[in-house]
Amino acid sequence: MVDLSLVSLLGLVSPASAIKTIKLKKTPDEDFVGAFFERNAMLMEHAQTAESRFLRLGEGKKENVVINDYANAQYYGVVEVGTPTQEFRVIYDTGSSNLWVPDKTCSCGGFIARKHKFDAASSTSYVEDGSEFKIQYGSGPVSGKFGVDTVTMGDDLAVTGIHFGRISDTSGLGFGYLMGKFDGIFGLGFKSLSIDGVETVFDAAVEQGLLDKPVFAFYLGNDSDGELTLGGYDNTRYTGDLKTVQLSHEDYWQIDIDGLAINGEELDGPASAIVDSGTSLLAMPPSKADAIANKLGAQKMFTGQYSIDCNLINSLPDVTFKINGVDYPLPASAYVLSTGKMCLLGFMGFDMGMGPKYILGDVFMRVYYTVFDVENGQVMFADAAK
């Protein structure tokens, strides 16, 4: 594993040994290419306030959080902090492990994009911590102080005593954060990745008996809202059987893949991959992304992305990952991103050094319903319901 706590598509970050990706976002139409320039854009424009709702499926309590979708490139939901609750739009991110939201003292967003900010004085359940919370991105820091408060998801899943980041400096997220409408990040990774080793919100919810099982699952909508199910999974959101894949490492949701192929031709053999809801694209070594682009007839742009003729979509082959002996094909309708005026491939070349080679982001998770099983150290995949 490389000596990084986060490797973002925005740049490199440290401390603590790990890799991290922040979801890239696209803007509509002609703004799309600019959103990827210098890999410095994340969640662009038109975020909507998500609603939460309570769900019971069979026995045991589960909670559903609506995951809003904008243009198949932004997936975000709502979390509430404090008493009375203060609402924030967050990325529910399996590639990190901390919850952070902007603090009232943060100038982030300015007059261009007003952020929801946490006011500690307005919360009767807030407890001061004061220790430093800091993640160093390549373009600058995201930093602030730890605080402790109640975190609420869905209608009534209130988790007490949560250490979270009150962020006063978001310069490390650059232009993408300034222009975006998201407020913070909600980590669903393992505690081993957590800043200062603080307990994750999900682990705390399980320990406090608020959820039936230490399991959660993502259904990402295709130009429609999706759902994050906490405490189990929803069998109405997939078809066929769930296929189990054991984790190869428990920090990220890291698995081994058998290979990558296109048109039956193997492009790569056994490798490691991260299943990451916080990454919009599918990241891979630059040589593999170039090889796929060449075979599909795509052109590399100065932004590092690959443009392709939209008229080719119906004739393009599947790009297939083999995982634990099972083929997981991605059709062109999943990996070609259309802006209305041009089309881009949903693959990005990204060198992660000694870490995992692939990041199976939203391009993959839109096609395959994904269950994250903390207790058994495994993920499960099935065809997402249409």
Given a contact cutoff of 8 angstroms between Cβ atoms, the answer to whether 284 and 9 are in contact is no
Q: Identify the active-site residue in 93, 103, 251, 268.
A: 93
Q: Using CA of residue 283, residue 287, residue 290, residue 292, what is the dihedral sign?
A: negative
Q: Catalytic residue at 156? A: no
Torsional class of 11: left (φ above 0), alpha (ψ -120 to 50), beta (otherwise): left
Q: Is the pLDDT of residue 200 over 60?
A: yes
Q: What is the pLDDT of residue 182?
A: 84
Q: Is the pLDDT of residue 13 over 50?
A: no
Q: Catalytic residue at 223? A: no
Average pLDDT, the chain: 83
Q: What is the pLDDT of residue 280?
A: 87
Q: What is the pLDDT of residue 75?
A: 86
Q: What is the pLDDT of residue 294?
A: 95
What percent of the chain has pLDDT above 70?
80
Q: Is the pLDDT of residue 135 over 50?
A: yes
Least trusted range by pLDDT, from 97-111, 245-259, 359-373 = 97-111
Q: Identify the active-site residue in 103, 169, 183, 276.
A: 276
Domains of the chain: 6-230 (2.40.70.10), 238-384 (2.40.70.10)
Q: What is the pLDDT of residue 109?
A: 67
Spatial separation of the C-alpha atoms in residues 26 and 42, rounded to whole Å = 8
Q: Is the pLDDT of residue 43 over 70?
A: no
Higher pLDDT, 3 or 161: 161
Helix, strand, or coil (residue 122): helix
- Cα–chain center distance at 232: 19
Q: Is the pLDDT of residue 5 over 70?
A: no
Least trusted range by pLDDT, from 67-81, 216-230, 313-327, 353-367 = 67-81
Q: Once rounded to an integer, what is the mean pLDDT over residues 286-310?
A: 94
Least trusted range by pLDDT, from 7-11, 121-125, 214-218, 262-266 = 7-11
pLDDT-based confidence at residue 70 (cuts at 50, 70, 90): low
Q: Is the pLDDT of residue 325 over 80?
A: yes
Instruction: Give one DSSP letter per residue of 248-262, joined into a string.
Output: SEETTEEEEE-EEEE
Question: To which H or E segment does residue 384 belong?
Answer: strand 378-384
pTM for this model (two decimals): 0.84
Q: Once rounded to an integer, what is the mean pLDDT over residues 188-195?
A: 94
Q: Is the pLDDT of residue 382 over 70?
A: yes
pLDDT-based confidence at residue 175 (cuts at 50, 70, 90): confident
The single-letter code of the amino acid at 117 is K
* The residue to which tokens 């232009």 are assigned: 175
Q: Give the list of residues 6+ apart from residue 380 with CB closer than 8 angstroms, or none.
A: 233, 242, 243, 244, 245, 370, 371, 373
